[in-house]
Amino acid sequence: MENIALIESFSEFKDDKFIDRVTLMAILEDVFRNALKKKFGSDDNFDIIINPDKGDLEIWRNRVVVEDGEVEEPNEEISLTEARKIEPDFEVGEDVSEEVKLIQLGRRAILALRQNLISKIHEHDNTTIYKHFKELEGEIYTAEVHHIRHKVVILLDDEGNEIIMPKEKQISADFFRKGDNVRGVIESVELKGNKPVIIMSRTAPAFLEQLFFQEIPEVFDGLITVKKVVRIPGEKAKVAVDSYDDRIDPVGACVGMKGSRIHGIVRELGNENIDVINWTSNPQLLVTRALSPARVSSVKLNDEKMTAQVYLRPEEVSKAIGRGGHNIRLAGQLTGYEIDVFREGVEEDVELTEFSDEIDAWIIEEFKKIGMDTARSVLEQDVDDLVKRTDLEEETIIEVVRILKEELAD
């Protein structure tokens, strides 16, 4: 049939992975009915028979036979003379079904029909892809590196779907080559125009949480619950876990003998240092555990202001703060409290804010970022160490130390 060649544009979609037979037929009928409306003004009196398996269709126009010269609606009525050219025994009042060949729509209409069909198919595909990945938000997904740009890596999955991983969603230690398989979490899916934009992240806390689900059997089975995850991607993370079975040690189960169970997760995250702690609903105890590996002497909470005053022996302070202030920052995020560290047994000390007349506020803030908010907390550190841990110049730090020493010497 001539129609077979004319509708190759839809037969090529019959094996499309996203379109079932019923949906494909509905899209095809909609496209052809729109073409008929443009050509004849209405499609109400047309029957469309589609066979997507063969890539074939038939279009039949139904009209009523009227006397010659009495045709008022050419799309709905046919003169007796014209009807008898189709079948010589037609009479007035009878119904006539006449097949319409696609070629009758005209070349331009056929080209527009094909373009409309392709557009509808892609629109359906994009909607299906969007719904599919929307359901995967927060889940781990694997895709292959297809293209590497300065600020983004373009990935393709096994179905050819494009996934984007921006630079800020990559761990600092990540290094990719074309063809590499990459794991990450589907962080967001949005429709821009009709195209789904799928964002993958390796820096999201959800990625670390999902790695626990994949790598720790007790977490996967629901025997251990991951209560909260906080991260400084590629540097350090804290994961609070709990078990409703007293016979299970959630921390021990997650870490394994000599870290054997968590080692794969650490390697996946570019050797990110992961602290696993026991969750508790007791906020004082949670703050104490969150500051691990430091040993906390006592904690005073202000639940109204959500602040925690933590007292430690002087030798434990640097552990509580951690390199670059990472440990105390993550502990605060995990617990929800703003944590201030105080040294046990140190009687004379002064808040850095008391020196605001002599030290610029932004400099004081730089020290606070790494957990140092008193004069002695700064003076107990080496200048070289402070240079490494802050964004301050050595001359600036030396001047701050001079000011603090003069105050405490008075």
Beta-carbon contacts of residue 54 (< 8 Å; ≥ 6 apart): 4, 11
The confidence band for 278, taking pLDDT boundaries of 50, 70 and 90, is very high
Mean pLDDT of the chain: 84
| CB contact burial 192-208 (16+ within 10 A = b; e otherwise) | eeeebebbbbbbbbbbb
What domains does the chain contain, in order, with CATH numbers?
2-131 (3.30.1480.10), 138-201 (2.40.50.140), 204-279 (3.30.300.20)
3-state secondary structure of 202: coil
pLDDT at 240 over 90: yes
Residue of 296, 293, 250, 295 whose CA lies nearest to 273:
293
Q: Is 257 left (phi over 0), alpha (psi -120 to 50) or beta?
A: beta
**CB 390, CB 370: distance < 8 Å:** yes
Quick one: pLDDT at residue 2? 44
Residue-wise pLDDT for 172-191, tens only, equals 888 999 999 999 999 999 88
CA distance 33 to 43: 6
* DSSP designation for 374: B
Half-sphere exposure for 4 (CA within 13 Å, toward CB): 3
Which backbone phi and psi does 70 adopt, to 5 degrees? -110, 15
Give the global pTM. 0.62
46-55, 58-67, 400-409 — which is least confidently predicted?
46-55
Share of the chain above pLDDT 70, in %: 88
CA distance 6 to 136: 39
Residue of 190, 104, 202 whose CA lies nearest to 153:
202
CA distance 214 to 211: 5
Residue-wise pLDDT for 341-397, tens only, equals 888 765 567 788 888 888 888 998 888 888 788 887 888 788 888 888 888 889 999
Quick one: pLDDT at residue 285? 93
CA distance 201 to 171: 9
| CB contact burial 221-233 (16+ within 10 A = b; e otherwise) | eebbebbbbbbbb
Share of the chain above pLDDT 90, in %: 33
Pairing verdict, β 307-312 and 338-343: parallel
85-94, 130-139, 142-151, 330-339 — which is least confidently predicted?
85-94
Residue of 38, 33, 37 whose CA lies nearest to 49:
33
